[in-house]
Structure 1
Amino acid sequence: MVSRRTFLAGGGAVAAGGLGWFQTGSAAASGQAGSGLVDAAELGTTGRRLLPSFARPRHLHYGDVSKLSGGDQTLLTTLQGLVNRSRPELYFLYSPGGNDGVDARWLRNTGVPATRYADPLELVAKYRHRVRGAILHDPEVPDSLNVATTLAGLENAVVADAAQAKAHGLRVVKDLRGLFDDDRVKTYRWQFEHLFPRCTRQLLAGLPPTMVVQAENLTWHEIARETRQLRDSSNRGTYTLDVSPALGKDAVYVRFQDSFGDDGWGPSVLSVTAKADGATLATFQPGTPHEAPYLFDGLNSSIGGEGNRFSDGSGYFIYKFSPPAGTTSLTVTVEMWNQYLVTATDTAPTRVEPFPYFRDYVVATKALVSWLPPNGPTGELLTEHFAAVGPTTPYAGWFANDVAGEWSGVDLAAQGGSEVLPADFYMNGTVHSGVVAPISDRVRRFRPITPKKKIYVTLTFGEGDNVQYCQRHMRDLWDDPRRGHAPVNWTVSPLLADIGPAILSHYQRTATHNDLLICGPSGAGYTYPGAWPAEQLDAYFKLSGRYLRRTGMDLVYAYNHRENDAWVPFSETIGRGYAEHTPIRGIIQSWEKGDLLVRRGGLPVIGNFSPPGKAAEYKAALDAHTAAWTGDAPLFVAGAVNAWSWTPTDVAQLAELLTGKYELVLGNVFFDALDKVL
């Protein structure tokens, strides 16, 4: 399975449907003139906003920070949070591509006058009088960066290291160096006890303190490649790889990645032995303490059920081996299988830097930010965080440990009555939540059909719960010139109405008659409803209903919880909760096999069918999946589209293959027809 992170109707057709529009953004939603942060708590429990919003920007100062270090970006994003708290004035371009990058495109869409700074660090001097000084994090203790971020919001200070503070003439408000060690639980326990009483209760935040940055101009030597698309472990074996071509410096870095990055069946490695000139240099199994000294970068990988390390799609993992000086032969023997691509280099391929993103929103809202893996002692402390806030308080950011961290993290949040807002790479949030834009609250009209003896297929791009995907990758997909050539559903988060109204508005207004926006998992925030406390579940459904009505969505793509490594179908109680409190007409449940078709609470629920590969392979999988169909009655298939590897061009190519017994339709037509025959 590919991770969420291994990383839209509108237009003339919708306008003809008579959509109702209302202005959204802090000024419009609150009825105020729009000066300063508008806390959602000010609206009370019946208010329309879950997330804090900001005043409407009048003029923006911006610069391209894509080539700055993570430390400098962190300095600027925390400055941005402090300045934009009163009214957004700072905006940054993070994506490469200059004026063609996604951040530049959104900036133009805002229509807000803007002044560009060739050197964005000049903005520190320009706004230095607006901050008290700097909170110094400890580079030796990565988690101190999150403590510094929390303190920055509370003390009206930026986050910096000692060298940055000196270079920019910033007074030291608090120096965290030497106060913490590598005991993550102790660090965040101190923060929870001493800082949380001063923080907002509107949200909790989870951000990694560091990120891995790719080195430039590297030469990778290809060592081994599986050229067949194998997903059944049939090539499992022990392979001795000669990585000697990468010898030359102090170390050799061996990278394992997916040889077919578009289908999610990358390399699995169960054991590793490295030998230098025949002498054993290292031997270990993944996930054990013996692996730790050699695992240079494992952030984009996971540990499987056999204790194997694997990485799918665009992910990878890297081992570092340091042979004795003068070594002429270096081999690495691995037991591995599936679609592997092994390469090696003699130069450190990545470096670790502070993680800067989303910190403007965290600082501006005075939120508590931590990074607590959801299992073990850190998970126990994270559970206390959820218990300290009210039901439906969002957890904004993400979790450690890739896919496994996602499943256990979202599950833990649900048990604590919190929905998740994946937002760790959401950038300029303080600006986007303040831009006023029209959002339609009318449900998309469609022409119903009388089901015939055909196979009805609806295709859905996933990942829309993830607001950074909606902001970044989805915009690139949306700008594909072949979008609109074939019907497809696009999952989006209805919480964009708070944190990115202009983003949601853009997708609504520019959608073609073949684009349908539906709600991403599993309503107003990513969650597993089956994991919620029974007494709090209706609060989530009511919240979701409010946001679905506000954004005109009547379909939801949803997950439940997992038991014994399998997704559990929705219960009658959950179906009834959706039916009673939300306006949805049906649910696509993430099921991976496409064999679920039931009614729950009177609503049709269908499992998604998610085959690998591109158009031809997808069509072949559909043919196999529907081979037993006799043609005596309509058949319905909800097909998932991998948003990280597919584009609207790929959807159009698949549509050209779906002829004869197949009919490709939008989700609203699909569920209306399904409801008639189920």
Structure 2
Amino acid sequence: MNRKHGWKRKNGSVFVALTLLAASLALPGVPRAEAAGLDWPSDQLLPSFSAPAATLDVMDVVTEYKYDAMGPDIRHETGRPDVNGWLAQTSIDAPNKYMVHGPYATDVAVGRHTAFFDLIIDNNTANNDVMVTLDVRDHDTGQVLATRDLRRQDWSYASDYERFQLDFVNPTAGHALEFRVFWHGASYIKVGSVGTESLDRGEEAALFTSLKGIVNREQPRIYSYDNPVKGEEGKYNWLNSLNLGHQDVADNWTLLTKYRNEIEGIVVYDDNVPDTLNLATTIASLEKGIVAPPSLVSKLTAAPYNLPILDDLRGDYANKLAVYQDLYDNYWPDLPHTVIVGLNPDLKGFLRDYASAVGTATVWLDPAVPAEKALLQDFFGDMPYGSGIYMGWWPAEQLGVETASEYGISTIASDFSSNLTVFGGTDRNVDVKPVPAKPQLDDKIYVSLILSDGDNLQYMEHRFKKIWDSANRGDIPLGWTVSPAMLDAMPGVLDYLYDTATVNDALIAGPSGVGYTYPNYWNNQTYLDEYTALSGDYMERAGLKVVTIWNTITGSTNPNVGESFAQNAPNLLGMTAQGGGNGNINVFDGTLPNQVLNANYCYSYDTLELEINNAIAGWDGTAPRFVSIQANPWDVDYQDFVDVVDHFSSNPDIVFVRPDNYFQLMREDLGLPIDPS
């Protein structure tokens, strides 16, 4: 297939008129050099960006407006809260009422939208009656903008959330919109969240996010705000916390004028084949261009922008597999192979700027589909076993991470990361705080509390800050999982955490070292040893003395894996294993204690209390007992931890300690050196 613009074929390879990436990024067999604002040493997993400009342009690229069904902005006429959603049940709750209505939002953009409703049904086969009616309503005028009946068999499956959509046009700015779920009383229904995505702003988000990637490749000068979720980091939180100068951009199109001389043209993707957006992202990065939806081509090619079309993908591909096969055959050979980006083409912004800046392949291939898995394995087979990185996320977590693990590739969850091209340019000097002195070892119950998901860079950027900013942080000992890869991707954020940490805050490594992987699935011991050594180096420089190892959510750690960490990450105090829930303790290679978590992914104060009680039951007081309890940050907040520690404070035999002190006490009890370093 011959490209319409900008490319030439020679000996089966793609030659790029602009040799930017050949000079600046890691091509196969070519050393990674400092150029074009990126510094990517051979021993560094991810590149460093230049120091951010003194004043960053802050652009608003919010496309999704999402509201928790149990949140403060949503109202209810029937039903009740139930763990992870708002529930209505037959014979219990009043029928023919609204389970959900609200949030009366006045900031939703005008134009084309797709409303969404995340719903669970407990039985999707009994009959095909109408279960709920969905609608979008302009509260100011009373006009229903769109409506849809959902029948039982409209659900593809039972007992898990499924998203249902409803297209509408928001005609008037500033009117209060509500997203409603009317329950007919015929079945168990749970609502998780409601909201809408702006289709018009989504197309602009693709354009401006790719612009941001090209601009920030030279020097970080643009910062994005794309996460309006209440209770998360907010628009200026990280900017102010990291002392980054900033100014709001009133109209994003002014950025295109401001940086026009840095852009060579546009690459047009095909709305009919959504995955062409990912190919367009890759091509535009190589051509120093930006991606463009068909709807904006006329505007972009006309004055005042006058951008030439570098490539037009419309009509070139029949399906997504053809898109990625062409990417593999004709572009991948000339791209860096150390990092690949996995990004759903429905996500127009977020991590797309990073993919544009770094200039590697952007794909969305599902290992559950045989043909897509085979092509994904072709990409993986060309990547360095043991140090290859898959940035972004998967269609399905476990199968994706398994597939990557079989090729010695780690996943760094980051698809909703918004500003890695800025954070990657912050100061790499991380002032690690030492582990405080442990308490005296006695015949007591020692409990370590851990907050999960810190390996997820988008969580670190968004949700984490809300919890870290709790006014009473420091009241109780807590382990906060983070990613060792923050040394490359977010060094300033990691340094900020140490700078603001209290004596009760312990940073520990999330799964499973420098990236999320299942080490049991690695079939080459030499490469596994290289990975554990690399993880040991990153963890030591990041000050992380404890690591969580995942081998699926229930799998234990194989002896060869534990021994590899013991030998190649000798400064670790201890490891936890995600699976099992029994709290069993063993020692790898005679040096490294490992404990299966007593509980993982606790989702409320009640489950924290329950799991601690289960783990301490039967203790006879004649020897120390060690209890490790993990909770997830999406349902548990800092106050839940404080409350559970307060609950057990009347029992002098229960001592809550940081995870690093916890393993020091365990090491002492096992007769191991308290400080292995």
TM over 0.5: yes
Secondary structure (helix, strand or coil) at the match of 1:135 reads strand
Pairing partner for 2:658 from 634, 658, 666: 666
Per-residue deviation, 1:97 = 7.6
Moved over 4 A (4+): 32-35, 97-101
Name the aligned partner's letter for residue 541 of structure 1.
T
- Once residues 606 and 279 of structure 2 are traced to their aligned partners in structure 1, the CA distance between those partners, rounded to angstroms, is 50
Secondary structure (helix, strand or coil) at the match of 1:72 reads helix
Pairing partner for 1:72 from 195, 204, 207: 204
Contact 1:451 1:673 (8 Å CA) reproduced = yes
- Once residues 209 and 588 of structure 2 are traced to their aligned partners in structure 1, the CA distance between those partners, rounded to angstroms, is 45
- Once residues 530 and 587 of structure 1 are traced to their aligned partners in structure 2, the CA distance between those partners, rounded to angstroms, is 15
Pairing partner for 2:594 from 594, 605, 615: 605
- Once residues 559 and 546 of structure 2 are traced to their aligned partners in structure 1, the CA distance between those partners, rounded to angstroms, is 18
Secondary structure (helix, strand or coil) at the match of 1:517 reads strand
Aligned to 1:457: 447
Does 1:675 find its partner at 2:667?
yes
Are the structure 2 counterparts of residues 99 and 632 from structure 1 closer, same or farther at C-alpha, using a change threshold of 3 Å?
A: closer
Pairing partner for 1:632 from 608, 622, 637: 622
Name the aligned partner's letter for residue 371 of structure 1.
W
Aligned to 1:554: 545
Contact 2:282 2:355 (8 Å CA) reproduced = yes
- Once residues 508 and 117 of structure 1 are traced to their aligned partners in structure 2, the CA distance between those partners, rounded to angstroms, is 32
- Once residues 286 and 659 of structure 2 are traced to their aligned partners in structure 1, the CA distance between those partners, rounded to angstroms, is 46
Per-residue deviation, 1:187 = 2.0
Aligned to 2:384: 390
Aligned to 1:198: 334
- Once residues 435 and 653 of structure 1 are traced to their aligned partners in structure 2, the CA distance between those partners, rounded to angstroms, is 36
Q: Which runs of 5+ in 2 are unaligned?
A: 1-24, 26-31, 64-197, 302-306, 671-677
Aligned to 1:586: 574
Per-residue deviation, 1:667 = 0.7
Cα deviation per residue 1:572-592 (whole Å; 9 max; x = unaligned)?
322221122212110011025
Per-residue deviation, 1:99 = 13
Aligned to 2:313: 176
- Once residues 591 and 99 of structure 1 are traced to their aligned partners in structure 2, the CA distance between those partners, rounded to angstroms, is 30
Pairing partner for 1:160 from 287, 292, 307: 292
Per-residue deviation, 1:552 = 1.2
The share of aligned pairs that are identical, in percent, is 30
Name the aligned partner's letter for residue 37 of structure 1.
G
Name the aligned partner's letter for residue 599 of structure 2.
S
- Once residues 617 and 441 of structure 1 are traced to their aligned partners in structure 2, the CA distance between those partners, rounded to angstroms, is 33
Cα deviation per residue 1:563-612 (whole Å; 9 max; x = unaligned)?
xxx41x22332222112221211001102513321111221111113264
Per-residue deviation, 1:98 = 11
Secondary structure (helix, strand or coil) at the match of 1:482 reads coil
Name the aligned partner's letter for residue 357 of structure 1.
F
Matches within 5 A, 1:236-251: none
Secondary structure (helix, strand or coil) at the match of 2:250 reads coil
Pairing partner for 1:399 from 382, 394, 401: 394
Aligned to 1:343: none
Contact 1:34 1:54 (8 Å CA) reproduced = no
Per-residue deviation, 1:553 = 1.2
Per-residue deviation, 1:613 = 4.6
Aligned to 2:374: 380
Name the aligned partner's letter for residue 395 of structure 1.
Y
Aligned to 1:414: 405
TM-score, length-scaled by structure 2:
0.69
Aligned to 1:275: none
Cα deviation per residue 1:132-155 (whole Å; 9 max; x = unaligned)?
111111111111111111111111
Aligned to 1:127: 259
- Once residues 580 and 479 of structure 2 are traced to their aligned partners in structure 1, the CA distance between those partners, rounded to angstroms, is 17
Contact 2:231 2:466 (8 Å CA) reproduced = no
Contact 1:62 1:120 (8 Å CA) reproduced = no
Aligned to 1:149: 281
Name the aligned partner's letter for residue 420 of structure 1.
T
Per-residue deviation, 1:168 = 2.9
Name the aligned partner's letter for residue 50 of structure 2.
A
Name the aligned partner's letter for residue 587 of structure 2.
R
Matches within 5 A, 1:239-638: 355-375=348-368, 376-391=370-385, 392-400=387-395, 405-436=396-427, 438-441=429-432, 444-532=434-522, 533-561=524-552, 566-567=554-555, 569-582=556-569, 583-601=571-589, 602-610=591-599, 612-638=602-628
- Once residues 315 and 211 of structure 2 are traced to their aligned partners in structure 1, the CA distance between those partners, rounded to angstroms, is 24
TM-score, length-scaled by structure 1:
0.69
Secondary structure (helix, strand or coil) at the match of 1:102 reads coil
Cα deviation per residue 1:234-277 (whole Å; 9 max; x = unaligned)?
xxxxxxxxxxxxxxxxxxxxxxxxxxxxxxxxxxxxxxxxxxxx
Cα deviation per residue 1:267-299 (whole Å; 9 max; x = unaligned)?
xxxxxxxxxxxxxxxxxxxxxxxxxxxxxxxxx
Aligned to 1:52: 47
Cα deviation per residue 1:55-78 (whole Å; 9 max; x = unaligned)?
112232222222572211111110
Name the aligned partner's letter for residue 177 of structure 1.
R
Cα deviation per residue 1:92-118 (whole Å; 9 max; x = unaligned)?
211228999534111223333333211
Per-residue deviation, 1:623 = 1.5
Per-residue deviation, 1:481 = 1.1
Cα deviation per residue 1:343-401 (whole Å; 9 max; x = unaligned)?
xxxxxxxxxxxx3211111111111010011232211211111110112111111100x
Length, aligned pairs only = 490
Are the structure 2 counterparts of residues 105 and 33 from structure 1 closer, same or farther at C-alpha, using a change threshold of 3 Å?
A: farther
Aligned to 1:289: none
Contact 1:440 1:550 (8 Å CA) reproduced = no
- Once residues 421 and 660 of structure 2 are traced to their aligned partners in structure 1, the CA distance between those partners, rounded to angstroms, is 34
Name the aligned partner's letter for residue 361 of structure 1.
Y
Per-residue deviation, 1:441 = 4.5
Per-residue deviation, 1:658 = 1.9
Pairwise CA RMSD: 2.3
Are the structure 2 counterparts of residues 517 and 99 from structure 1 closer, same or farther at C-alpha, using a change threshold of 3 Å?
A: closer
